[in-house]
């Protein structure tokens, strides 16, 4: 039920027909994100994402909202480190409207100066919101030091200075250069659809963009170790411990998913059980993978009191050490594999998830990744695979820590992070 067509101008369209549903999810994915920005323009991709909903040549911002709300659909967008996507979910009978809306905001947005100034203030508020959310802000602080001197370490939102310097002319120039570039565009559609009809609609809109050669050139950053303390009057100390992770296409990526899940990916994970359930030292503790085209981070977050910072760090490092020293049993790994496979199957019930999987498969592999292949990849992982991956990732030279709250540099010694 999967089909792929590359239009004459280079735009890629991938679809997955799901006959038993009545909805369709459509995403326009553009290979442009914060890691493509120069230092002085940090935040411009996210700024553009906002502006694309502020009016086109034939629709006001209110018109856009009313049209999608009028059919009970959803319309939104997101910006990441490596791509920007604009997506809609509607009933299949409203497919034409959704395509028209998405194409209109991408091709005909006006970028009016007064709207840009108004939205600049909105983004300032968004930055303030993140800074007032310490469990989120600590992730940005960690990334800035882990990938220092690299765009990959910069915050997606940008900062007050860079946002203040982004002019209407710069927005228009950046948009025309990177967004109206067919070789960077992937249209992903999943649900109740007809592929030929999708191609007809997309070719009449995005297919008319003039071909342009403007591919992405990536500069892979090296991870930096170290301890970075940010003293702030908070009730908790927010800790982020990270090490080198895996890329989206890493040969041990399935082993990485399992490692993350059993380490801190759910309530039965080692860190949750040890730090929260056994010792009661944190309400929130978890791990997660941030994977990019060429590199990645394995991160652990915990929020605790000032008095318990050392205890929590010791417990986290101890769990990492035990895993590295081959404490994983086959039964524990098999249970985690089954959890992951069921999560994959549950996500397959959603047209949103399948649209996302279609796009990511094309973005990172240039092909469709069937759910059966994912399940098989998880099944094939052995304890030895995970062990080999930990030997690659759990090295002292890669470990870094950021802490935000009532904490001082002398409170966290480098020895605490030594495996």
* Rounded average pLDDT over 327-354: 95
Q: Is residue 213 situated within a structural domain?
A: no
Verify whether residue 49 is a known catalytic residue. Answer: yes
- Domain's final residue, options 208, 239, 268: 208
Residues in the chain: 419
One domain for residues 142 and 198: yes
Residue 291's CB is within 10 A of a number of other CB atoms, namely 20
Domain count, the chain: 2
Distance CA 291, CA 268 (A): 23
Q: Is residue 218 situated within a structural domain?
A: no
Burial of 29 (0-12, 13-18, 19+ CB in 10 A): buried
Active site residue: 49, 82, 115, 319, which one? 49
One domain for residues 164 and 261: no
One domain for residues 239 and 381: yes
DSSP class of residue 210 equals: P
One domain for residues 24 and 164: yes
One domain for residues 281 and 162: no
**Average pLDDT taken over every residue of the chain:** 96
Evaluate if residue 242 carries a pLDDT over 90: yes
Q: Are 72 and 89 in contact (CB under 8 A)?
A: no
Percent of the chain with pLDDT over 70: 100
Q: Is residue 300 situated within a structural domain?
A: yes
What integer pLDDT is reported at residue 112 of this predicted model? 96
Evaluate if residue 327 carries a pLDDT over 90: no
Distance CA 197, CA 87 (A): 18
* Rounded average pLDDT over 56-63: 96
What integer pLDDT is reported at residue 87 of this predicted model? 98
Distance CA 316, CA 48 (A): 39
Reported confidence tier of residue 190, pLDDT bands at 50, 70, 90: very high
Evaluate if residue 410 carries a pLDDT over 90: no
One domain for residues 26 and 121: yes
Residue 84's CB is within 10 A of a number of other CB atoms, namely 25
Distance CA 324, CA 171 (A): 47
**pTM for the model:** 0.95
Evaluate if residue 83 carries a pLDDT over 90: yes
Evaluate if residue 275 carries a pLDDT over 90: yes
One domain for residues 70 and 181: yes
Evaluate if residue 219 carries a pLDDT over 90: no
DSSP class of residue 220 equals: P
Distance CA 392, CA 404 (A): 28
Q: Is residue 219 situated within a structural domain?
A: no
Phi-psi region of 137 (alpha: psi -120 to 50; beta: other; left: phi over 0): alpha
193-196 own/partner pairs: CB under 8 Å, 24+ apart:
193/15, 193/17, 193/24, 193/92, 193/95, 194/17, 195/3, 195/5, 195/15, 195/17
One domain for residues 179 and 245: no
* Rounded average pLDDT over 244-253: 97
Domain that holds residue 282: 226-417
One domain for residues 287 and 385: yes
What integer pLDDT is reported at residue 201 of this predicted model? 97
Half-sphere exposure for 201 (CA within 13 Å, toward CB): 20
Q: What is the CATH number of the domain that holds 70?
A: 3.30.830.10
- Domain's final residue, options 208, 234, 261: 208
Evaluate if residue 217 carries a pLDDT over 90: no
Burial of 329 (0-12, 13-18, 19+ CB in 10 A): exposed
Q: Is residue 317 situated within a structural domain?
A: yes
- Alpha helices in 187-252, H assignment, sequence order: 195-204
One domain for residues 245 and 306: yes
One domain for residues 323 and 379: yes
Q: Is residue 122 situated within a structural domain?
A: yes
Q: What is the pLDDT of residues 37-59, one digit of tens each?
A: 999 999 999 999 999 999 999 99
Q: Is residue 72 situated within a structural domain?
A: yes
Evaluate if residue 207 carries a pLDDT over 90: yes
What integer pLDDT is reported at residue 218 of this predicted model? 86
Sequence-ordered list of residues with C-beta below 8 angstroms from that of 226, at least 6 positions apart, any chain: 145, 400, 401
One domain for residues 181 and 248: no
Evaluate if residue 144 carries a pLDDT over 90: yes
Q: Is residue 368 situated within a structural domain?
A: yes
Q: For the residues of 72-108, what is the DSSP string, one character each?
A: T-EEEEEE-SS-EEEEEEEEGGGHHHHHHHHHHHHHS
């Amino acid at each position: 039920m999967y089909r792929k067509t590359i239009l004459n101008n280079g735009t890629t369209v991938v679809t997955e027909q799901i006959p038993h549903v009545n909805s369709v999810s459509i995403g326009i994915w553009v290979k442009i994100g914060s890691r493509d920005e120069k230092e002085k323009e940090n935040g411009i991709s996210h700024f553009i994402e906002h502006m694309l909903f502020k009016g086109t040549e034939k629709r006001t911002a209110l018109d856009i909202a009313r049209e999608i709300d009028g059919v009970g659909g959803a319309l939104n967008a997101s910006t990441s480190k490596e791509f920007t996507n604009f997506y809609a979910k509607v009933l299949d009978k409203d497919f034409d409207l959704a395509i028209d809306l998405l194409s209109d905001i991408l091709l005909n947005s006006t970028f009016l100066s007064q709207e840009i100034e108004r939205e600049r203030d909105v983004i300032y508020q968004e930055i303030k919101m993140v800074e007032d959310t310490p469990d989120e802000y600590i992730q940005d602080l960690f990334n800035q030091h882990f990938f220092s001197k690299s765009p990959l370490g910069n915050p997606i939102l940008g900062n007050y200075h860079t946002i203040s310097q982004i002019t209407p002319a710069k927005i228009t120039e950046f948009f025309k250069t990177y967004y109206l570039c067919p070789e960077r565009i992937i249209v992903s559609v999943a649900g109740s659809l007809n592929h030929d009809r999708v191609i007809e609609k997309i070719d009449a809109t995005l297919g008319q963009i003039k071909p342009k050669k403007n591919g992405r050139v990536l500069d892979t950053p090296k991870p930096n170790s170290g301890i970075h303390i940010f003293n702030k009057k908070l009730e908790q100390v927010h800790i982020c411990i990270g090490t080198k992770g895996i890329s989206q296409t890493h040969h041990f990526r399935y082993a990485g998913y399992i490692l993350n899940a059993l380490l801190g990916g759910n309530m039965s994970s080692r860190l949750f059980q040890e730090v929260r359930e056994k010792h009661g030292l944190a309400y929130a503790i978890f791990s997660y993978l941030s994977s990019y085209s060429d590199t990645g981070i394995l991160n652990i977050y915990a929020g605790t009191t000032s008095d318990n910072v050392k205890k929590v760090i010791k417990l986290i490092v101890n769990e990492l050490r035990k895993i590295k020293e081959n404490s994983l049993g086959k039964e524990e790994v098999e249970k985690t594999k089954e959890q992951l496979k069921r999560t994959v199957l549950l996500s397959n019930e959603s047209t949103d998830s399948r649209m996302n999987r279609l796009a990511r498969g094309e973005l990172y592999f240039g092909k469709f990744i069937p759910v059966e292949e994912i399940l098989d990849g998880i099944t094939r992982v052995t304890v030895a695979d995970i062990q080999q991956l930990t030997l690659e990732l759990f090295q002292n030279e890669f470990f870094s820590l950021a802490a935000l709250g009532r904490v001082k540099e002398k409170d966290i010694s480098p020895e605490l992070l030594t495996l």
